[in-house]
Amino acid sequence: MQGQSAVVCLALCACLAACGASHTSASHTTSTTTATASAPSSASHAGLQPYLIHGNEEPGYAVQRPLEYYKTAAGYAASEQDPADAQRLTSDGFQQALVENTGGGNGISYVLQFATVSDAAREQSFQFQTDSDSQGGLPFRFSVSGVRNADGFGARPVEGQGDANALFREGRCLLLVGDLSAPHPKSYEAAVIAGVQAIYARTGAHRGACSG
């Protein structure tokens, strides 16, 4: 989740998606569960799963199972290929994470739960600043209608993959939906927006695991 796992690194996107790097954004998805992930307990699964993409909510990016569940900051940081970040996450109130890959490894949906609403807001600011500052290619920003705290950002394809990502908060949770431009170079940004709106429509007006 530091600079080396920034959102866009166009020359390396395809390799990262294939080889299983970090979950920070669409350009760093994995197609298999990592060694540090555990099977979600029934309670954690039921509590956090509504905050992930379901079914066909992202057109062209079907959900994949199993989910990846992280109950410690150390486990999640290791999955991000940044073990040193565990201390920061712990001090920032990290509690648990649930990660879902989509689109055959070309997309990502995750929810990170923190102790407080302010912890989640701080993490959103950190991730957005870190990732957007490290973008290559042709970076762009976008909004998500109806989700006022969403930060949409990505890169247009140049000589490789592009990607689109949206960070947003619900209570004490930080969520991300992200897609690589392959295999849908004309609709990957729209797919992210549709996914965020679907999650927010399902959870935004209801109390749940992320309620502050």
Beta carbons within 10 angstroms of residue 172's beta carbon: 21
Tokens of 48: 């956090």
Q: Hey, what domains does the chain have and what are their CATH numbers?
A: 3-30+39-203 (3.40.1000)
pLDDT, tens digit only, all 212 positions of the chain:
333 233 323 222 332 233 333 456 775 444 333 445 766 555 556 799 999 999 999 999 999 888 999 999 999 999 988 999 999 999 999 999 999 999 999 999 999 999 999 999 999 999 999 988 777 778 999 999 999 999 999 999 887 789 999 999 999 999 999 999 988 888 999 999 999 999 999 999 889 999 97
- pTM here is 0.83
Q: In the 3-class helix/strand/coil scheme, how is 25-70 assigned residue by residue?
A: CHHHCCCCCCCCCECCCHHHHHHHHHHCCCCCCCCCCCECCCCEEE
Tokens of 191: 């797919």
Backbone angles phi, psi at 2, to 5 degrees: -90, -165
